[in-house]
Amino acid sequence: MVRKAIHTWKEKLKEHFRQVISIKRSPSSIAAGLAVGAFIAIVPTPGFNILIAIGVTLIFEKISKISLFLALLLFNPITTLPFSVLGYNLGKYLLGSAPVVESGILMWDSIYYHTIRYMLGMVIVALVVSLFLYLAVYVIASFYLKRDHSSRR
């Protein structure tokens, strides 16, 4: 049962990648779309991901829109849960137990303390994942596009 689920997930991932590679764009455009989409999806902006993605595609016309939105689909709240845990722990490690800004309201102080650590960690995690994704997809897309181009001759 678990093997079948893993196999199905792998096949879906391969199919998404085939769709992205079949886009008639440059490898850098495809990779940038996936990397930016991953960054938008990982950084916690609940409800605004789609609006931010649309804004990015309007500003940066050379980014592959299809790969950007496929990344948003791939990095959903369930798949980003491990990144959230990692992000909070990273932010907590980097900021340590710095003195909390005290507003006199205990609840707000606690929210501020945890939010600043979570956001710092998530931005760093999103940058690292996006950079890795860009490099990996650029290399793979270049390989497939060269192979596709040479097989047409």
Q: Which among 17, 63, 16 has a CA at the least distance from the CA of 39?
A: 63
As a whole number of angstroms, the distance between CA 79 and CA 89 comes to 17
- Asked whether the beta carbons of 67 and 30 are under 8 A apart, the reply is yes
Q: What is the pTM of this model?
A: 0.75
As a whole number of angstroms, the distance between CA 125 and CA 101 comes to 25
- Asked whether the beta carbons of 47 and 6 are under 8 A apart, the reply is no
Per-residue pLDDT reduced to its tens digit, 78-120? 788 899 999 999 999 998 876 666 666 677 777 888 889 999 9
As a whole number of angstroms, the distance between CA 50 and CA 45 comes to 10
Read off the amino acid at residue 55: G
* pLDDT value, residue 121: 95
* pLDDT value, residue 67: 87
Q: Which residues of the chain are modeled with pLDDT < 70?
A: 1-2, 5-6, 9-10, 12-24, 98-105, 148-153
* pLDDT value, residue 138: 92
* pLDDT value, residue 142: 86
As a whole number of angstroms, the distance between CA 96 and CA 94 comes to 6
For residues 39, 44, 50, 53, the Cα torsion angle rounded to the nearest 10 degrees is -30
Placement of tokens 């829109």 in the chain: 65
For the chain, give the number of residues.
153
Q: What is the 3-state secondary structure (H, E, C) of 71-126?
A: HHHHCCCCCCHHHHHHHHHHHHHHHCCCCCCCCCCHHHHHHHHHHHHHHHHHHHHH
Sign of the torsion formed by the C-alpha atoms of 59, 64, 66 and 70: negative
* pLDDT value, residue 108: 78
